[in-house]
Amino acid sequence: MTNTASRSAAFPWLEGRPTHLPCEATDVMPSVLLPGDPDRVSKTASVLKQVKEIGRRREFQMARGMWNDAPITVCSTGIGGPSTEIAVVELANLGMKRGIRVGGMGATDPSMPLGSFLIVDTALRNTGTARVYDRSSEPIPASAEIVEALERAAKALNLPFRRGAIYTTDSYYWGQERLARPGADPRELPTAGLMRQLTEAGAVGMDMECEALFAVGRALGVQVGAVLAVHGNRATDQWLEDYEETQHNLIRLAATAVSFLDAR
């Protein structure tokens, strides 16, 4: 049998192309917006100018474009820590300097309206992928420059926001104190009482990627941050209906923050 293998299994990239992301270095700008949902990439592209669709492989949809004078790449991470790790590692090796998650969350603070935004300043410790990259048990901070730029952008665009801590979990149902079967007894959930505990720990929402982004990005020297739209409020049991407008505002907010950071 002829051995035609030319890739290293330890780092199986080929000719500058990563194993998972459908791109090469010229596609990756220093600032990258990171939605979980691949469909949010085309929504982002419809807000940016001079858009180039880069491609899609698995959960990783990519595009790039301009917001004012700021070049921006957008890359979906898929759901959860493992696929977020892959996206962040491959993007960091292709030139990403700043990764900003543009996602959704379930608010646990009853005062957060649907469609308002959390500018994440800290991720509490909970998930497996993040633990691989940061073995401490300390909450992981977002990069201060990104938090400040996101706050400035939200104020400039007159969008409702608050700053606070996120609880990231590897699980959408039981792991977010949701029933996995309608009609089950909520008192029998293994996670019964989670939302109350999170409030006591200072978190105001739940998502599935921030902690991994912060841990992996910081370990690789990438600035990290996140702005999350309130897609649901678990304390008031409300679910967002005007999804499109909120996505539009989310993208404008993050892109404006990038333009502020680039102008420094």
Chain residues binding ligand R1P by CB under 6 A are: 35-37, 79, 103-104, 172, 207-209
Helices (H) and strands (E) in the chain, counts: 7, 11
Of 231, 228, 224, 250, the C-alpha closest to 47 is: 250
Determine the Cα–Cα distance for residues 231 and 201; give it in Å rounded to an integer.
Answer: 21
Q: Is 64 in the site for ligand URA (CB under 6 A)?
A: no
Is 181 or 187 the residue whose CB approaches ligand R1P more closely? 181
37 contacts which partner out of ligand R1P, ligand URA, none, CB within 5 to 8 A by kind? ligand R1P
Q: Is 80 in the site for ligand URA (CB under 6 A)?
A: no
175 contacts which partner out of ligand URA, ligand R1P, none, CB within 5 to 8 A by kind? none
Q: Is 120 in the site for ligand URA (CB under 6 A)?
A: no
Residue 91 CA neighbour count, 13 Å, CB half: 35
Interface region with ligand URA, contact rule CB under 6 A, candidates 101-109, 146-154, 242-250, 255-263: 101-109
CA distances from 200 to 69, 124, 155, 203, 204 (A): 42, 12, 28, 8, 10
Is 106 or 225 the residue whose CB approaches ligand URA more closely? 106
Is 18 or 104 the residue whose CB approaches ligand URA more closely? 104
Task: Indicate the burial class of 190 (C-beta count within 10 angstroms; 0-12, 13-18, 19 or more).
Answer: exposed
Residue nearest to ligand URA (CB): 106
Collapsing DSSP states into helix, strand and coil, what is residue 138?
coil
Q: Which of 65, 81, 99, 104 binds ligand URA (CB under 6 A)?
A: 104
User: Which residues, 6 or more positions from 58, have their beta carbon under 8 angstroms from its beta carbon?
Assistant: 20, 78, 83
Determine the Cα–Cα distance for residues 256 and 216; give it in Å rounded to an integer.
Answer: 24
Q: Is 211 in the site for ligand URA (CB under 6 A)?
A: no
- Give the residues lining the site for ligand URA (CB under 6 A): 104-106, 172, 176, 206-208, 231-232
